[in-house]
Amino acid sequence: MEMVVQAGDLLSVLAVLEEVDDSVSLLGHTTRPGNYEWSPGMRVTDLVSSERMLKPKADLGYVLIRREDGPDRLTTVLSLDLGAALANPASASNIELQVRDRVMIFELGVVRAAVISAILDELEAEATQSRPFQMVKVSGQVRSPGGYPLEAGMRISDILRAGGGLSSSAFSAGAELTRYSVDASGERQTQLIAIDLDAIIDGDDAADLMLNSYDFLSIKEVPAWEKQFEIELIGEIRFPGVYPVQRGETLRSVLERAGGLTDLAFPGGSVFTRETLRKREADQIVVLERR
């Protein structure tokens, strides 16, 4: 029914709703972010149908779903292995989506703390005595250390997945889980648990412990792990060039590896230059020039 507008009528135009109830959102490291129509039975691979929808270096191992549950729309967090879901859509990894789910794609090697921290803040703000704050942490030799939401049934392998996986310097025999609990007298107790990462990687469920809230997993670095150091030999040397050196190795040793000095060499006129010294000298020259 059309109405005729008369002088003095007040016409109100409502703003477009920021949220679309019957939709899910795709966010983060994707070529097609935005809201998508939700339908009953919709799964993650119906939203992300192929890797072509993702930008290069997307972390397929840890995709986060922020969900609103119940009439109070309290925040719940789930995660999945998108690579496994795409490879086998019938697997448990291909989680069924609900209305207003936000599916977040991360980039490998890029800090994800800002996004995760915002979700943790939401969870902490909503926490009550009957619904306590649930968080776990991983530190050390993983690509993205930090705190992560504790999910139902979360294990050590899951927090490793959340952290982007082990770094190349991770010491698989050097992981430790710190667990806190409250005893019958109300005192807080600390338990240190040695973790066998090799067994977990091999699929040993007994080694892949279930996580509790506030568990802290620490991944140690391979002993004596360090960047490779190099020294460049130039001038009257039989085989000049760049040579890798080990901790404690002497210049004499490197010269011997390079075949020694030529007959025309003048050892007394040798110059040893270190990059840090070169930079310091350059800075001093700049200071002198300004005087």
What's the half-sphere exposure (Cβ side, CA atoms, 13 Å) at 272? 8
> Is there a common fold for 17-107 and 111-223?
yes
Spell out the CATH class of 111-223: alpha beta
Give Cα separations from 2 to 5, 11, 188 (angstroms): 9, 14, 70
Q: Can you give the C-alpha Rg of the chain in angstroms? A: 29
Question: How high is the pLDDT of residue 175?
Answer: 93
Give the distance, in angstroms, between the CA of residue 66 and the centroid of all CA atoms in the same chain.
17
Report the pLDDT value the prediction gives residue 250, as an integer from 0 to 100: 86
Domain ranges of the chain: 17-107, 111-223, 229-290
**What pLDDT does 269 receive?**
73
Check residue 165 and give its pLDDT. 92
Residues of the chain short of pLDDT 50, as ranges, are none
At 222 the pLDDT is 85
What is residue 18's predicted lDDT score, i.e. its pLDDT?
54
**Residue 35, pLDDT score:** 97
Among 59, 169, 153, which residue's Cα sits nearest to residue 115? Answer: 59
**What is the reported pLDDT for 129?**
87
Fold of 17-107: Outer membrane lipoprotein wza fold like (3.10.560)
The predicted pLDDT at position 278 comes to 60
